[in-house]
Homo-oligomer: A and B are copies of this chain.
Amino acid sequence: MFNFSCDYTEGCAPEILQSLTATNMEQTAGYGEDPHCQHARELIKEACGREDAEVHFFIGGTQANLNIILNCLDRPYYGLFATTASHVNTHEAGAIERTGHKVMTIPSVNDKLTAEGVEKAYQHWLIDPSRTHIVEPKLVYISQPTESGTMYSKQELTDLYAVCQKHDLYLFVDGARLGYGLCAPTNDVSLPDLAQLCDVFYIGGTKCGALLGEAAVLLNPKLKKGFFTLMKQGGAVLAKGRVVGIQFETLFTNNLYRQICQNGMDSALKIKAVLREKNIPLYIDSPSNQQFPILSKAAYEKLSRQFELGVWAYLDDGRLVVRICTSWATKPEAVTAIIQAIKEL
């Protein structure tokens, strides 16, 4: 049975296993101070066009989010703006609140924050006569692609960052699925663009072909002080830091990251095309590797007998929003099979 429930069902790109095997008995320093981590950092900074960036490796998204956000929110009463559906507001079991900070949800359009929305929410705080009794917004958290697969255009990101800079708000971009986003045909935000349009972001590895790992790219100089120690304190530092370093070294050599993610994108768009052909309504118009058809219970159950799928939401009319997720590892035969099954719904 093919599994389309998420993009972390397999291990990793075979090249990564080869690298891990080839380097296995090298003796290196721990805690990310080894040559592979150093090389990976150089490759990433080069790919971003930001030699001044500082790169740190995390083992996963929640770990990255909570430490990056805690690093930005350096007064206890600072909070962040995010969408209601954002990962930090929903599926991290209160990780941000455990660090002591409030996630403040503001309205979104297609699960994206807008420059106008952030401006309005910020002004709302600014003019409040009891402003000093209220959490002060200090960071805007977005994801690219978002949790439901939508993406910020270069213009949208430029506008959003301008509002953030105007009000001294940090902009943090969660790139857990960035690899797929970069491959999306409609995408106009390159990695170097992104590295100019926010204060900190991370490049997802776990969902994009690594065994584990996310590469955080710190751009704003104010965010660099003591970041390693903050990570260490959060339990985020691997003794064998090279385990993640070698993976990013491999992914950022010969463009492997883009190359393997392309398969996830291509597969998703083929499935999207047949959903459209069949006039199956889509919950949201996602240009990336997650597609969200709205299915009747019967159609969902029929499809589920052949494929593992995610359930995104239960609608009041009995229908389900289903998540079909592809990845670097999705096999052509799996795509063919699900396309055929959708046609036969």
A326 at the interface (CB under 8 A from B): no
Contact check, A236 vs B235: say whether CB atoms are below 8 A apart: yes
Residues B233 and A94 in contact, CB atoms below 8 Å apart: yes
Residue among A66, A74, A90, A238 having the largest count of chain B Cβ atoms under 10 Å: A238
Q: Which of A8, A28, A127, A230 has the most CB of B within 10 A?
A: A8
Instruction: Let me know if A93 is at the binding interface, CB within 8 A.
Output: yes
Smallest Cβ distance from A96 to chain B, in angstroms? 8
Complex CA distance for A74 and B235, rounded to whole angstroms? 19
A residues near B, CB below 8 A?
Answer: 2-3, 6, 8-12, 14, 17, 20-21, 23-31, 59-67, 70, 74-77, 79, 90-95, 97-103, 127, 129-130, 132-136, 206-207, 211-212, 225-226, 228-230, 232-240, 242-243, 308, 311, 314, 329
Bound-state CA distance A174–B260 (Å) is 40
- The answer to whether A24 and B20 touch across the interface, beta carbons within 8 angstroms, is no
CA distance A43 to B91 in the complex (A): 30
Which of B65, B92, B212, B236 sits near A243, CB closer than 8 Å? B212
Let me know if A132 and B229 touch, CB within 8 A.
Answer: yes
How far does the alpha carbon of A66 sit from the alpha carbon of B66 in the complex, in Å?
15
Q: Bound state CA distance, A52 and B54, in angstroms?
A: 38
Q: Using Cβ atoms and an 8 Å threshold, which residues of chain B touch A14?
A: 24
Tell me the smallest distance from the CB of A251 to a CB of chain B, in Å.
15
CA distance A74 to B222 in the complex (A): 13
CA distance A95 to B237 in the complex (A): 12
- Complex: A100 Cα to B94 Cα, angstroms: 8
Which residues of B sit under 8 angstroms from A2, Cβ to Cβ? 27
Contact between B62 and A76, CB atoms less than 8 A apart = no
Q: Is the CB of B311 within 8 A of A226?
A: no
Contacting pair B11 A133 (CB below 8 A): no
Residue of B nearest to A34 (CB): B9
User: Min CB distance, A228 to chain B, in Å?
Assistant: 5
**B234 A235 Cβ-Cβ under 8 A:** yes
The reply to whether A100 and B98 contact each other, CB–CB distance below 8 Å, is yes
Q: Quick one: closest B residue to A5, CB to CB? A: B29
> Quick check: B76 and A211 within 8 Å, CB to CB?
no
A234, B95: Cβ atoms under 8 Å?
A: yes
Task: Report the minimum CB–CB distance from A239 to chain B (whole Å).
Answer: 4
Contacts of A67 in B (CB 8 A): 235
